[in-house]
Structure 1
């Protein structure tokens, strides 16, 4: 696998930070490429070297976060339910600015983010439905998955928007216990 040039990584990080900061100040639809370029201290043409437009930039930013979450799946899901969510809540805490911005704004970009995050969670929970004990045999998968995914996203959103009133470990254990009862 080829290593990405550090200058490209630095540019992408500056653009990510610029978009997140600007979204904290105004709706995404009102942000211009020039706003992003000015905030990132880059030329507009540099943005277009990496992204088609601001929507492509936001899409790639969201995709990177979802991909990072997905990379945690392989080792986190081998844990007990109450421990499996610890790395996720630590990740949400570490990336607080991104998640608080994406979950608090009501414009199109963040709405798209919620939809993508929910789809990611539902797909992860799909593997976890307990059919062996019989507790979910009377429930349809789509209803159960929608319930669990929406509840999980709702708790993450509540926790982030309330400035993380409980430590990640406590949140992970609480949500793990609740989801274990459901799935």
Structure 2
């Protein structure tokens, strides 16, 4: 795999940071390429070298975070739900600006649906309807419930400015997942 030029990475990071900062100031639809150019201190042409438009920039930013969550999930597959949840909530904490903008401010409705779809994919393998409290229930319904609930609790956590630590959030989410998935 070819090594990516550090200047390219620096420019892309500046643009990602700029879009998050601008979304804290105004609605995404009101952000212009010139706004991004000014904030990231790059030319408009440079933006178009990396992205088709501002929507492409936002999509790539969202996919970066979803892919990182997926990788962390795969790396923690052998952990119990509480410890695995801590891996995620620590990532949420480390990337507070992004997640709070995407969830708490309703800055990007596309993100919430993309995040929920990711959760559905992850929880689909965790639900067993052949035994225990889930026996006889509809698996798709349980998975939808879990994904919606998890996304809602994470959104609540950001909307309310993290009323509990990310460790406590992980402990409680993990405990709830254990009850439903095991």
TM-score by length of 2: 0.95
- 1:39 alignment counterpart: 39
What SS does the aligned partner of 2:161 have?
coil
Counterparts of 1:10-159 in structure 2 under 5 Å?
10-107=10-107, 110-159=108-157
1:90 deviates by 0.3
| Cα distance in 1 for residues equivalent to 2:167 and 2:48 | 41
The 8 Å contact of residues 102 and 113 in structure 1, kept in 2 or not, is answered as yes
C-alpha contact (below 8 Å) 2:128/2:139 kept by paired residues: no
Unpaired segments ≥5 residues, structure 2 = none
RMSD (CA atoms): 1.2
Show structure 1 runs of 5+ residues with no match: none
| TM-score computed with the length of structure 1 as normaliser | 0.95
Which one is further off, 144-153 or 129-138? 129-138
Instruction: Note if contact 1:37-1:47 (Cα within 8 Å) is conserved in structure 2.
Output: yes
Instruction: Pick one of 161, 164, 168 that aligns with 1:163.
Output: 161
**C-alpha contact 1:27 1:105 (8 A) present in aligned 2:** no
